[in-house]
Amino acid sequence: MNNYTLVLDVWEGQLEIDEAALFAGGVGGLVIRLNDMSGGHHMDAGFSKQWAEAEGFLRWPYFVYNPWVTGKDNYDWLAMHMPNLCPAVAIDVEVRKSGYSAAVYAGQLGDFMERVQKIWRAHIYTGEWFLAEVSIWPKAEFWWAQYPYSMYPDSRITLSWDELRTKIGKLTWPPINANKAPGAVRMWQCSGDRIILPGSSRAMDINVFPGTAADLEAWLVLDGTPVIPPTVNKNRTVKIIAFPWLRVRAGAGTIYKVVRVLVYGTKAQVLETRYIGTELWARLVDGNWIALFYAGQSLAVFVD
């Protein structure tokens, strides 16, 4: 491959990432995990921080679809947590549920995607190994996982950017099994959790988009209009981790007056979340607001 944009996808397990090193290495995009579904949907512990630090890249979240709840419940959670003004989301479909029929999976996933695609440019991440779990796949474009041995050695290796580019230069688009995908393959995850690159001490998933950064941006934008997630009136519980307390304000933002405080360890119910720049705010059931992520720090976390 010659004409491509390098994209990395990251999650809380990557810990600290040196974004300047990624940028210097030619990384054009970052896909950031929005949620963890272990024990029930909750935010990826690193999302808010990584989202803020990725501002200089083309960035969009990926959402792990949870077959233990309905398509609508998946949608409600996503709608409550999508960053403001973000036009695109990747839907990670690779979680098996024992005894869950392929027809039921298809019905719930189809309902979910129909709701999501009305608002965001949504594409599906999966691979050939998972296709049989869903009897009929939704109409969508695909971020396809397929790992040539050159990009997926038996053990982890450390590469320089030049060494990585040499390996990618020997790849041929499209992936060898792209004809198996249920829709057009638009991005290729060509390595998973094997290659360590400058900027992180952990192996990272490596993706290539066939085109320029401008082409990638055009693919991610639905119609040129920034997207504000819909309000979802669904109670969620947060726990205050700011010490010794967290200010409760009359509106979403520090320009609003402080009406009271919530002390460290307090749990509170919230109805919606909203990004203001890189800040993440939550509306409480009484109509007041608290900051969940502010000035690079998490002040409260979801516990359900």
Q: Which domains, from first to last, does the chain contain? A: 5-220 (3.20.20.80), 236-302 (2.30.30.40)
In angstroms, the CA 265 to CA 219 distance is 43
Is the Cβ–Cβ distance between 227 and 61 less than 8 Å? Answer: no
DSSP string, 18-84: -HHHHHHTTEEEEEEE-EE-TTS-EE-TTHHHHHHHTTTSEEEEEEE--TTS-HHHHHHHHHHHSPT
pLDDT band at 16 (very low <50, low <70, confident <90, very high): confident
* Closest among 215, 233, 298, 295 to 77, alpha carbons compared: 233
pLDDT band at 274 (very low <50, low <70, confident <90, very high): confident
Asked if residue 232 has pLDDT above 60, the reply is no
Find the mean pLDDT for residues 207-216: 96
Give the start-end residues of each E strand in the chain: 5-10, 27-33, 35-36, 42-43, 58-64, 88-92, 121-127, 142-145, 157-158, 185-196, 203-209, 236-240, 245-249, 258-263, 267-276, 279-284, 289-294, 297-298, 300-302
pLDDT band at 148 (very low <50, low <70, confident <90, very high): very high
Find the mean pLDDT for residues 192-201: 95
Q: What is the pLDDT of residue 227?
A: 66
Q: What is the pLDDT of residue 301?
A: 82
Q: What is the pLDDT of residues 149-187, one digit of tens each?
A: 999 999 999 999 999 999 999 999 999 999 999 999 999
Asked if residue 219 has pLDDT above 90, the reply is yes
Average pLDDT across the chain, whole number? 91
Q: What is the pLDDT of residues 87-138, one digit of tens each?
A: 899 999 999 999 999 999 999 999 999 999 988 999 999 999 999 999 999 9
Find the mean pLDDT for residues 44-57: 88
pTM for the structure as a whole: 0.79
Higher local confidence (pLDDT), 97 or 16: 97
Cis upstream peptide for 244 (omega within 30°): yes
Is the Cβ–Cβ distance between 71 and 115 less than 8 Å? Answer: yes
Share of the chain above pLDDT 90, in %: 70
